[in-house]
């Protein structure tokens, strides 16, 4: 380990104040493969900076790091001060932790291990990086801040570390000032920064164009309350003019506010914009501690970017001793019929408002549209069991849905009381006898205190009836008001729910929760999140076909998404009068089971709709959702993705692809196949297929192939394909 | 029941808009004894008003009622609106619910019952009132609001009721506009409105003088974060120029923000000023519902005001089926020595910050000042048991006190892990063998989510070790930021804690919680609150002697206070170097056991200090804290209070008094005594006693008396007296 001590004199710093500060190199390192180079710099006014190159091509120009902080009172300051005067925290001045630093030392190390995820896109993952720890302090101020850099072959990660034994053990973050000065005006695929929703369609534009395009990219939805309209969300996928793919995200977001990226369009510079709490301050920290990782992933090809595992690698190893109860799950759900409008979550129109414990559901008049009724659920159980599914999700099973959303209602659900027409004991029993489990649903209506108050009884009920997975939801404005979905306070809540669930051996799939940052490595019972615009929006106005060709670059960078694919009946008007249209083809839907990796995969459509296309449905029945190997064959963000994967259990290869509105053809070398001959069952869009006009046209063909062959595939406008190799 | 229908035409209302609206009488009623008269009026613009007189003397001039409200979205408005556009709640306009009303009907009724409190100042309480329900609606708007008035012999109560079946089932309160137009410029005893602290000394002034005096009445303390500097707190005790005592408070504060009173000095008018949430809106309501009661208590004498039971009567009857586990409790505590600075709650100086579960206390270096250690606790147990106490409170027993206060620290305590030198099993066992229980302490550090997360395990631990009472605390700024101690969100929390405790048969004494409003009738396991400046401030700079002569009029109006009296050693400097001085005499302290009613009474000083005055201590040992009868003999707010009470258990009479800085003498007729002769043991300030210079000078004399006798008592400056009749 190299140890260098730099002490810059205060005089030198002061001398540099008048002119624009210039930077001097402090230290640097290269990635294990030698291709990436990063440098640590310090400006003449003591601001730490970093830069990143790949084979001498600039990616990140020197970019500043640091914070504006405020101390909080220590207990001794307020512990019944003898004069009856306690100083107030708002009298503490804001303090720069972005300049005035001197470098105490830099420390180098390296790391190389291979670990096995409980579930994933591959059975083992290599975690290989060089590390540089920059140790700094502000002379005479007793403030210390370190920056830990990790340089992988796939990109750079950095995080701040605040050691113990400095001026303030507790600090309040006014702003994190991490900047990413992009070396050119990258093309970016972005969604607007919103403190309460990630459910947007992407816009592709140069960084310099974002300010003018941003207003049109804002779309209302049921959760939004506050938009930061000069920023965008992470993960932000970019492509440099030289063709390099660069992605900025964060990893291991624990007890810290979620980061957005403020866009300086003129200088194509991005800066951390943390989600605030009610008072506008961004977060609370306690030393010793560190921030989440800020990542700059770099890839020569889009396909290589999709295989980047930095986010998982930057998270802590599995924290659960026993993971035997965690399993990949393929499921159906009593869900899409409500989303589309053919049924409803609620049970009655008798009540203007519901008071749990007082409202008498037993004598209420059912309105007849309640989907989670015994008969309907049994029908789904029969179909799901017959077709080899693991679980069946049922939403709207518990009382309270008559007035659940956006009423600022604290006690909105109790998570344990079924509607009169949902026999929880009998239905679980019926399902278990048929070899499947029911999947629980906990909509919190963004009343997290109420959820936490009922969490123990909710999880206990699940254990009692044999549920081992829950889909949770956070629709609406967070209670209490002033907190946002991505504030530190809520970030803390989501992980609390996952940890408490683990104690009960329950897997969690959190919808509307903060976008994932690889925490599923540490808590593999976090088997999924929504945290982006999912299939439901096909029933709320439709989604542009390119959406699923960008999500794997962005949303999936942090962990799997419960995208709920598998819609076979696209014309909703003809089914249930919904004017929205599912902009996809049947083979486009099949392709998603490969391109949208998740250990939790839904077949979202209804038994009736699948019954009309049982030959195509066969692929959904066959396709695994846990893999020993994945090969991204070709991709371009928001255009198309093609991937082949090998089932962890069955050892067979599968391949799938999706495209945007442009029909595309590919000749795919099958070199990933093992020796011998294989029978490829190919699910392809028919020549006439089109995601707007002819969605259900597909052809299933069989071909004998070897690893030396090339397979020709064609995807229709908004379509896709899927192949099973037997 | 009389039913009158008034329909005022909209034309008439509009006609009245130009000029100042005039009022017309709608209805009215008198108190059961006929002395109080109230009227309901409606102005020409449809604003409901009320007025109150006593024997034709105006108390409240016509005063307006109502709200400014905003509707919230119903679930159907946002339930995945098909066009992807959901309207936002902040687009809903504010709506007047204070004018434009017509009276649909008025309904009269009356009520008379006598009920028995589980504990109290008397063994039975009469609840006797006439009632008038004013039913109103706003024509053409589908908005309905009723006002329910109850007229007792002791005052007027009113509350708003929002029936089901109107425009909005959920509403957001912008402002409650209840006004109290006092008939003259009353003299008032007030503390400034603070959303986070009730710990102030009182100022006595005319209403018209409040604005100029208010800035000097603000005193810093560890909890304050936000002051409404044009308002004062309830209960507000006033005295009219005609000598009538009038008190404004609220009763049954449940799931609603706590009320302050905005002062219009010029017009000596008071108006409801509710504690806001983070966004400035005041509260959330769901129909059908009602607000807390707003009370105007009226008494001819100050002594009569102290016997007013309206607040309790306006609360619901006991909600607990089994109350056998609730009992009056006299306790000592390992507490005052830390408050005064002779010991500490924390254990070590090894850690700059504490992370529960990570910080290693087992190997920490004790700093040697930790009071809650086995040896010290055993000493207190011995003394408390020898002297007949029920319980011993121990603060600082659990890990985390090194950095508990005002660090914005979410996970601040776990409520179950003792410090290494506190053997929870052995100490409880030791106490139980000596016939007393330990009393639990849960300081939440105003991190209510953390408390709720640990509540079940905390109460379970109490059950395991035999604790049946907890002192809880809410020091510091509420987390998450934006919420205040008296916001609706926190009001909901405090009652939640009490209800959850009841499930575990645990009595609660909540410090820094919202001021009580009589909820102890409904939940008698709420045996105490602090919610005002208590004895601890004698160690933080001292308290003016008149303080305890105003608290029974104000703070105690809503329920008992854990004032923690009984300090015998006033010169703290000579004991532990604390510059503060306890401004009281030993007999002043003894008097508090009578004047500050509570079913939970502490002997707050240390065994050593009591050992020096065992003869005076005898009174604390003897005095009960549960009563069958109470007679307020004489009083004047902030000047003095004298009360006699009869023990519920021992059937014996006790008497006590306190005074402000003025030494006072009284001849007290003993007509409350039963037949026969009684031995009066009189604890009186010595002639030379003085709360500043000669605090420990007392005389204990014995006298034989009968109910025909008059007892002469003298109280020194800042002193008091106590009498036990044997």
Residue A445 pLDDT greater than 60, yes or no: yes
Task: Round to whole Å and give the CA distance between B343 and B522.
Answer: 38
- Which residue matches tokens 């796939």? A154
Residue A568: the pLDDT is 98
Task: Provide mean pLDDT across the span A145-167.
Answer: 96
Centre a 10 Å sphere on the Cβ of residue A44 and count the other Cβ atoms it contains: 19
In chain A, residues with a C-beta closer than 8 Å to the C-beta of B81 are: 222, 540
Please, are residues B282 and B275 in contact by the beta-carbon 8 Å criterion? yes
Residue A82 pLDDT greater than 50, yes or no: no
Q: What does DSSP assign to residue A370? A: B
The answer to whether A662 contacts chain B (CB < 8 Å) is no
Cα radius of gyration (chain B): 26
Residue B92: the pLDDT is 64
User: Beta partners for B162?
Assistant: B289
- Is beta strand B391-394 parallel, antiparallel or unpaired with respect to B678-685? unpaired
**A223-227, A418-422, B339-343: which range is least confident on average?**
A223-227
What percent of chain B lies above the pLDDT cut of 70?
94
CA distance A77 to chain B (A): 9
The set of residues, in sequence order, having a beta carbon less than 8 Å from that of A726 and lying 6+ positions away, is A652, A678, A679, A680, A681
Give, in order, the Cα–Cα distances in Å from A131 to each of A110, A112, A147: 5, 11, 11
Residue B14: the pLDDT is 41
Using CB atoms within 10 Å of the CB of residue A133, give its burial: 0 to 12 exposed, 13 to 18 middle, 19+ buried.
middle
In chain A, residues with a C-beta closer than 8 Å to the C-beta of B456 are: 456
Residue A5 pLDDT greater than 70, yes or no: no
Residue A110 pLDDT greater than 80, yes or no: yes
Cα radius of gyration (chain A): 26
**Complex prediction ipTM:** 0.94
Cite the DSSP H helix spans in A466-563.
488-503, 547-550
Task: Provide mean pLDDT across the span B430-449.
Answer: 98
Centre a 10 Å sphere on the Cβ of residue A650 and count the other Cβ atoms it contains: 15
3-state class of B386 per DSSP?
Answer: helix
Task: Round to whole Å and give the CA distance between A644 and A627.
Answer: 10
CA distance A478 to chain B (A): 12
Q: Which residue has the higher pLDDT, B5 or B476?
A: B476
Task: Provide mean pLDDT across the span A239-259.
Answer: 98
Structure tokens at A217: 């990219």
Element (H, E) at B337: helix B336-340
Task: Provide mean pLDDT across the span A174-187.
Answer: 97
Tell me the per-residue pLDDT of A333-362, one tens digit each, with 9 for 90 and over.
999 999 999 999 999 999 989 999 999 999
Residue A226: the pLDDT is 76
Average pLDDT, whole number, for chain B? Answer: 93
Backbone phi, then psi, for A722, in 5-degree steps? -150, 145
Confidence of residue B219 (pLDDT cuts 50, 70, 90): confident
Maximum C-alpha span of chain A: 89
The set of residues, in sequence order, having a beta carbon less than 8 Å from that of A366 and lying 6+ positions away, is A347, A348, A420, A421
CB contact under 8 Å between B72 and A408, yes or no, is yes
Confidence of residue A222 (pLDDT cuts 50, 70, 90): low
Average pLDDT, whole number, for chain A? Answer: 93
Centre a 10 Å sphere on the Cβ of residue A685 and count the other Cβ atoms it contains: 30
Long-range contacts: B120-123, Cβ < 8 Å, 24+? B120/B312, B120/B599, B120/B626, B120/B627, B121/B597, B121/B627, B121/B630, B121/B645, B122/B627, B122/B628, B122/B629, B122/B630, B123/B627, B123/B628, B123/B629, B123/B648
The answer to whether B406 contacts chain A (CB < 8 Å) is yes
**Residue from A510, A678, A653 nearest A594 by CA:** A653
Task: Provide mean pLDDT across the span B519-531.
Answer: 98
Task: Round to whole Å and give the CA distance between A350 and A360.
Answer: 10
B481 catalytic per annotation: no
Element (H, E) at A302: helix A302-306
Task: Provide mean pLDDT across the span B139-147.
Answer: 94
Task: Round to whole Å and give the CA distance between A622 and A602.
Answer: 13
Task: Round to whole Å and give the CA distance between A296 and A158.
Answer: 9
Tell me the per-residue pLDDT of A679-716, one tens digit each, with 9 for 90 and over.
999 999 999 999 999 999 999 999 999 999 999 999 99
Residue A591 pLDDT greater than 90, yes or no: yes
CA distance A74 to chain B (A): 6
Residue B18 pLDDT greater than 70, yes or no: no
Task: Round to whole Å and give the CA distance between B183 and B52.
Answer: 9
Would you tell me which residues 165-204 of chain A have a C-beta closer than 8 angstroms to some C-beta of chain B?
165-166, 169-170, 172
The answer to whether A449 contacts chain B (CB < 8 Å) is yes
Task: Round to whole Å and give the CA distance between B382 and B146.
Answer: 58
Size of interface A-B (CB pairs under 8 A): 214
The answer to whether B352 contacts chain A (CB < 8 Å) is yes
Task: Round to whole Å and give the CA distance between B724 and B654.
Answer: 5
Is the peptide bond between A499 and the residue preceding it cis, with omega within 30 degrees of 0?
no
Would you tell me which residues 261-320 of chain A have a C-beta closer than 8 angstroms to some C-beta of chain B?
277-279, 281, 284, 286-288
Centre a 10 Å sphere on the Cβ of residue A313 and count the other Cβ atoms it contains: 24
Task: Round to whole Å and give the CA distance between A79 and A86.
Answer: 8
Candidate list A536, A636, A695, A724, residue with the active-site label: A536
Give, in order, the Cα–Cα distances in Å from B379 to each of B375, B462, B600, B608, B621: 6, 22, 22, 10, 18
Tell me the per-residue pLDDT of B350-391, one tens digit each, with 9 for 90 and over.
998 999 999 999 999 999 999 999 999 999 999 999 999 999
Q: What is the DSSP string of B696-712?
A: T-EEEEEEEE-TT-EEE
Task: Round to whole Å and give the CA distance between B298 and B239.
Answer: 10
Long-range contacts: B316-320, Cβ < 8 Å, 24+? B316/B252, B316/B521, B316/B522, B317/B115, B317/B521, B317/B522, B318/B118, B318/B521, B318/B522, B318/B523, B318/B524, B319/B522, B319/B523, B320/B502, B320/B523, B320/B524, B320/B525
Residue B568 pLDDT greater than 80, yes or no: yes
Strands annotated E in B275-387? 283-286, 289-290, 293-299, 329-334
Nearest CA in chain A to B412: A286
Residue B124 pLDDT greater than 50, yes or no: yes
Residue B17: the pLDDT is 44
Task: Round to whole Å and give the CA distance between A653 and A646.
Answer: 4
CB contact under 8 Å between A477 and B89, yes or no, is yes
Using CB atoms within 10 Å of the CB of residue B281, give its burial: 0 to 12 exposed, 13 to 18 middle, 19+ buried.
buried
Residue A477: the pLDDT is 87
Would you tell me which residues 557-596 of chain B have a C-beta closer than 8 angstroms to some C-beta of chain A?
578-580
Choose the mutation target among A163, A222, A490, A493 for the interface with B, i.e. most B CBs under 10 Å.
A222
CB contact under 8 Å between A341 and B82, yes or no, is yes
For helices B614-622 and B586-595, what crossing angle results, to 10°?
Answer: 0
CA distance A649 to chain B (A): 38
Residue B500 pLDDT greater than 70, yes or no: yes
Tell me the per-residue pLDDT of A478-490, one tens digit each, with 9 for 90 and over.
999 889 999 999 9
The answer to whether A407 contacts chain B (CB < 8 Å) is yes
**Residue from A657, A633, A634 nearest A723 by CA:** A657
Candidate list B121, B176, B536, B695, residue with the active-site label: B536
Residue A6: the pLDDT is 41
Residue B642: the pLDDT is 98
Is the peptide bond between A233 and the residue preceding it cis, with omega within 30 degrees of 0?
no
Task: Round to whole Å and give the CA distance between B353 and B88.
Answer: 42
Task: Round to whole Å and give the CA distance between B340 and B331.
Answer: 19
Structure tokens at B646: 């009869």
Strands annotated E in B256-328? 259-264, 269-274, 283-286, 289-290, 293-299
Tell me the per-residue pLDDT of B679-702, one tens digit each, with 9 for 90 and over.
999 999 999 999 999 999 999 999
Task: Round to whole Å and give the CA distance between A597 and B3.
Answer: 69
Residue A214 pLDDT greater than 60, yes or no: yes
Would you tell me which residues 481-510 of chain B have a C-beta closer than 8 angstroms to some C-beta of chain A?
481-483, 487, 489, 492, 496
Please, are residues B157 and B314 in contact by the beta-carbon 8 Å criterion? yes
Residue B2: the pLDDT is 40
Tell me the per-residue pLDDT of A528-575, one tens digit each, with 9 for 90 and over.
999 999 999 999 999 999 999 999 999 999 999 999 999 999 999 999
């Amino acid at each position: 380990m190299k140890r260098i001590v730099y002490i810059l004199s205060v005089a030198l710093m002061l001398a540099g104040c008048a002119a624009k500060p210039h930077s001097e190199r402090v230290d640097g390192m290269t990635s294990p493969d030698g291709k990436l180079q990063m440098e640590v710099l310090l400006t003449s006014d003591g601001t730490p900076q970093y830069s990143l190159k790949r084979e001498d091509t600039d990616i990140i120009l020197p970019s500043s790091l640091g914070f504006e902080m405020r101390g909080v009172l220590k207990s001794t300051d307020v512990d019944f001060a003898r004069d009856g005067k306690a100083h107030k925290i708002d009298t503490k001045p804001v303090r720069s932790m972005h300049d005035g630093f001197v470098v105490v030392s830099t420390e180098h190390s390296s790391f190389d291990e291979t670990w096995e995820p409980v579930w994933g896109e591959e059975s083992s993952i290599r975690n290989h990086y060089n590390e540089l720890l920059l140790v700094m302090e502000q002379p005479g101020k007793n403030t210390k801040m370190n920056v830990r850099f990790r340089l992988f072959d796939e990109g750079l990660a950095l995080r701040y570390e605040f050691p113990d034994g400095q001026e303030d053990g507790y600090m309040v973050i006014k702003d994190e000032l991490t900047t990413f000065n992009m070396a050119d005006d990258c093309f970016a695929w972005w969604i607007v920064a919103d403190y309460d929703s990630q459910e947007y369609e992407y816009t592709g534009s140069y960084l310099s164009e974002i300010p003018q395009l941003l207003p049109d990219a804002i779309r209302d939805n049921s959760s939004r309350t506050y938009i930061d309209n000069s920023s965008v969300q992470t993960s932000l996928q970019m492509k440099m003019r030289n063709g390099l793919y660069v992605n900025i995200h964060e990893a291991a977001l624990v007890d810290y506010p979620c980061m957005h990226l403020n866009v300086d369009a003129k200088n194509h510079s991005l800066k951390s914009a943390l989600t605030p709490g009610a008072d506008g301050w961004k977060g609370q920290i306690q030393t010793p501690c560190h921030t989440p990782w800020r990542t700059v992933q770099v890839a020569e090809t889009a396909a290589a970017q999709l295989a980047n595992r930095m986010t998982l690698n930057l998270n802590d190893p599995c924290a659960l001793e026993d993971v035997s109860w965690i399993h990949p799950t393929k499921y159906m759900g009593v869900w899409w019929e409500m989303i589309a409008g053919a049924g409803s979550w609620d049970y009655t129109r008798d009540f203007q408002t519901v008071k749990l414990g007082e409202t008498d559901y037993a004598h209420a008049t059912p309105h007849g549209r309640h989907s989670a009724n015994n008969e309907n659920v049994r029908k789904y159980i029969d179909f799901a069991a017959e077709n080899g599914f693991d679980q069946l999700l049922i939403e709207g099973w518990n009382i309270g849905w008559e007035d659940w959303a956006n009423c600022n209602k604290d006690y909105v659900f109790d998570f344990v009381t079924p509607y009169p027409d949902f026999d929880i004991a009998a239905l679980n029993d019926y399902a278990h006898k048929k070899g499947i489990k029911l999947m629980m649903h906990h909509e919190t209506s963004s009343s997290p205190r109420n959820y936490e108050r009922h969490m123990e009884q909710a999880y206990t009920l699940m254990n009692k009836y044999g549920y081992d997975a829950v889909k949770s939801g956070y629709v609406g404005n967070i209670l209490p008001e002033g907190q946002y979905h991505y504030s530190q306070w809520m970030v803390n809540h989501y992980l609390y729910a996952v940890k408490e669930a683990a104690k009960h051996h329950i897997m969690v799939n959190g919808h509307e929760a903060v976008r994932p940052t690889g925490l599923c490595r540490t808590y593999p019972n976090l088997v999924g999140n929504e945290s982006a615009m999912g299939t439901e929006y096909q029933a709320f106005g439709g989604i542009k076909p390119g959406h699923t060709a960008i999500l794997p670059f962005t949303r999936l960078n942090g962990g799997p998404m419960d995208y709920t694919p598998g819609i076979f009946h696209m014309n909703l008007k003809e089914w249930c009068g919904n004017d929205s249209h599912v902009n996809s083809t049947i083979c486009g839907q099949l392709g998603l089971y490969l391109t949208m990796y998740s250990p939790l995969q839904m077949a979202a459509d209804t038994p009736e709709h699948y019954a009309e296309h049982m030959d195509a449905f066969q692929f959904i029945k066959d396709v695994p959702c846990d893999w020993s190997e994945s090969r991204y064959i070709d991709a371009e963000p928001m255009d198309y993705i093609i991937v082949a994967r090998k089932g962890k259990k069955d050892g067979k290869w599968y391949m799938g692809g999706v495209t945007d509105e442009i029909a595309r053809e590919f000749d795919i070398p099958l070199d990933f196949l093992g020796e011998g001959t294989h029978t490829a069952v190919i699910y392809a869009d028919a020549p006439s297929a089109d995601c707007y006009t002819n969605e259900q046209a597909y052809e299933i063909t069989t071909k004998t192939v070897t690893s030396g062959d090339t397979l020709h595939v064609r995807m229709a406008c908004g379509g896709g394909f899927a192949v099973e190799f037997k």
